[in-house]
Structure 1
Amino acid sequence: MGHQVQGTLRLGVSSNFARYRLPALLKRFVKLYPDVEIIVKTGWSTEVMNYLYKDEVHIGIVRGDHHWHEHHYFLYEEPVTIASKEPIHLEDLPTLARINYKTDSHLKQTIDHWWHKTFHHPPLITMDVDRIDTCVELVKNGLGYAIIPSISLSEIDSLHTIDLYSEENQPISRKTWMTHRHAALELSVVKAFVDFMKSQYNQEAPR
């Protein structure tokens, strides 16, 4: 069946998803559909949405909540967490060194909102880096803590984590969505990839 699906599939993918999840998924997809050529564009989720609006990609995989008037399929969510080399207490965060990283405006606003609702003092930011994986490496070396989506952590990192909760004691999470235009499903490569992604994540329904 896989050999009946052929053509070019253009994907726009959030940078973090591309870094931590996409390679293994594409490996499995290409094994199923070896005649499909895949073109990938990565960037902030807002950039990926722009790729969709301009029809530069068939499918977008984005993180956070974005307005999209066509197909918008929930894949999964993971907690936003405080990560540190050694155990720390939540109430001590304003006095501890924090490592910051560049991210999209939605995640930054989520973290900033949580901070301002939790503390009366600004964070003590001692390092500001351009990549989340650089941030994680600095945390692993005991140079400070970070507030990051857990997609960027693995068990081998051996870091201590504290998940964020809102004032209403609801977990603060980062959702990942698959988006595309309705008409795109007329292309066999798009339908094959959409069905494949649903098969990979249908066990993680939204809560």
Structure 2
Amino acid sequence: MRILIIEDEARIAARIERFVRELLGPTRTRLARCDSVADGIEHIRSQGIDLLFLDLNLNGQDGFEVLKHVVAESFHTIVISAYTDKAITAFEYGVLDFIAKPFAIERIQQALNRVESRAASSQPSLKFLAVKGRGQIRLIPVDDVLFVQGSGVYSELHLQNGTTVLHDKSLEKLAQLLPASFERIHKSYLADSRYFSKIHIQSGGRYTLQLTSGHHLPIGRTRYEQLKKHFY
């Protein structure tokens, strides 16, 4: 398991690391530590992780900034913070657990049990997609996305309110991260199966998928048989 601790107090970071190694064993962990938002984001993007222990006050910086910048990555997050009033916000970001400081090894064990239980049942459920623009990051709820259209190395998110926003990840990358309800219906399209309405047969052996929103999307020839199962 690739684990990252983002904590600016070396004593607390060492305590978390000691507890984790004691509970999981040295052969089951590849553990790293960072003490700032920027270093944590860089490590996640360059190395990839399975589990994040995150403090919310990093030398005066907001730890939630880490989650905003890497929200489309797939890993579990356990927040460890003295700011218990931020617990509700943390769970809105999709964190798996919130541990209040000070903490004992038993509380870390409980959190790790949740990680293993979730890993055994399913992958983390992505709740938001981060869209960057004009120096800001906007969090788009996955539930607002009807379908995704590939646009080179980028993707266009088509939302339920009729707007379209550009995402800086490719369609292939988003296909790995989005919930199972999103299906690849064409080499250039992902669509949420909860909004499938009808399949239309066109001339020349072509097919289109109608969504409940009224959108008509092309269906790849190799995808037609699989999609039919939604309607029979």
TM score, norm. by length of structure 1 = 0.30
The answer to which structure has the higher helix fraction is 1
Higher relative contact order (CA 8 A, sep 6+): 1
Whichever structure has more strand as a proportion of its residues is 2
What TM-score does the superposition give when structure 2 sets the normalisation length? 0.27
Whose Rg is larger?
2
